Chain A
């Protein structure tokens, strides 16, 4: 993909992660990796966001919050599950109150592996998320 038709805004939520992936998501936005060079802006408001980055394995308490945030985002929207926990529950899959992956709660478009997911792979995941977003937009248009 050589250019994007829109600058996508991302929104991050920590659904019972260990902080590892969350600080890597933040590290993506800082000068060394600089996600903003793709025109990507981190926002704190789900109503402004196109891409939802979720880290963590989603415990029982978070189910409603994640679904609520997902519903608040305008269509078309893309969910990127960041890290092993968000993909499958990861090392915490054996814990008693863990759902085992974001896709048990909301539909996921892109899975980013790693524990903690490296900034390079998070950036790759977001760029793939943008492609998924374009496709969804074409479908609805």
Chain B
């Protein structure tokens, strides 16, 4: 039989981003998927040659608008380790709090997009309405809804007062309560279970072989989380990574749903443990130009992100490299797409939580 080739993207209603896949079909079955990249490539890593290292943080933040805070934090942490800058205690805790809030934001955003992809528009609207609450917290504390620009090399730009932090926590806990209802609907709805259950199963062995990261790997029963290594104060937080064993689209959704209350709990622990008071130091300004190289790892909402920075003593860095979680998850996604039905392709692509602008930079 003659094979059919269906182009998926660059403009496709299911994703706002230009992901391009050529789906090679035999009847309704996908037998191969050939990705093409470059539609969102901005040459961001090369910009270190033209942008000074002090300003590069703002460019790095714009790798992706969904995990913008974490990218800014990763860049700042890398430069701090090269330049041996000690970050004030309170600034570290504030970073951790913002990082976890941005995880809540990202998971709510994903859950909405995922719901839209399988035709549950009501759930999409619900999740995005809850997400506005989180964006409101960001706007109040950092000044920006999407791009925060609150990380500096050596600390953070703004303080959040203790009373404000308590109010934020109360608001997040209310959100967690409201989310419980949504999560209950999601877990008990038979049409969702039918649409996602058993679709796109990634076994634990395959997840290891394709080096999947983040919720993708955790949904296949692999206990992996960069936060477990304890950097950036996570050693003082008690938490256990959410692990599911089914490895299908439903498990990947459930992992992210269970991570939302967990992140809110981490915010609570952080607010309890951080040093209190007004006017505490927030920033130790670095002196001179950086020399040396470093690796930094962070757990982003989508999984492990890795930064490599090499500096040569001038105000321009020699090399900046980011390996983003979606990039690590694409081999697993291609593996899942092969052999599935055409109608399941959007669901499988969305449950890896793709961020193409992270991947292509």
A: residues with CB less than 8 A from B are 12-27, 30-32, 44-46, 56-57, 59, 61-62, 65, 69, 91-92, 94-98, 115-116, 118
Contact = CB atoms under 8 A, between A and B. Distances in A.
B46 A116 contact: no
9 contacts: A20-B146, A21-B65, A23-B109, A26-B128, A30-B128, A30-B132, A31-B129, A32-B128, A65-B18
A32 B39 contact: no
A31 B68 CA distance: 24
B251 to A, nearest CB: 25
Contact of B357 (A19, A94, A97): A19
B108 to A, nearest CB: 11
A91 to B, nearest CB: 6
A97 to B, nearest CB: 5
Interface stretch (B7-15, B213-221, B274-282, B335-343): B7-15
B31 interface: no
Nearest to A57: B42
The 6 nearest A-B residue pairs measured at CB: A20-B65, A44-B13, A30-B128, A19-B65, A116-B146, A20-B146
Nearest to A27: B128
A17 B17 CA distance: 9
Given A31-B129, A95-B43, A118-B145, A23 B59 contact: no
A31 B125 contact: yes
A92 B41 CA distance: 11
Contacts of B40: 14, 16-17, 56, 59
Nearest to A68: B11
Interface string B118-161: 00000011001101100100000000111100000000000000
B331 interface: no
Given A46-B11, A116-B146, 4 more contacts: A16-B41, A20-B147, A23-B146, A97-B43
B292 interface: no
B51 A94 contact: yes
Interface of B: 10-13, 16-18, 38-44, 46-47, 50-51, 58-59, 62-66, 68, 109, 112, 124-125, 128-129, 131-132, 135, 144-147, 355, 357
Contact of B42 (A20, A32, A98): A98
Contacts of B16: 12, 14, 19, 22-23, 25-26
Contacts of B131: 27
A92 B44 contact: yes
A96 to B, nearest CB: 5
A14 B125 contact: no
B66 A19 contact: yes
A110 B129 CA distance: 28
A32 B136 CA distance: 11
A32 B129 contact: yes
Contacts of B41: 16, 59, 61, 97
A69 B11 CA distance: 9
Nearest to A26: B16
Among B58, B112, B125, B146: residue with most chain A CB under 10 A: B146
Contacts of A45: 13
A97 B43 CA distance: 7
B18 A20 contact: no
A95 B128 contact: no
A95 B50 CA distance: 8
Contact of B125 (A30, A46, A69): A30
A82 B188 CA distance: 39
B12 to A, nearest CB: 7
B146 A31 contact: no
A57 B109 CA distance: 24
A98 B43 contact: yes
Contacts of B63: 18
Contacts of A115: 62, 147
A94 B49 CA distance: 10
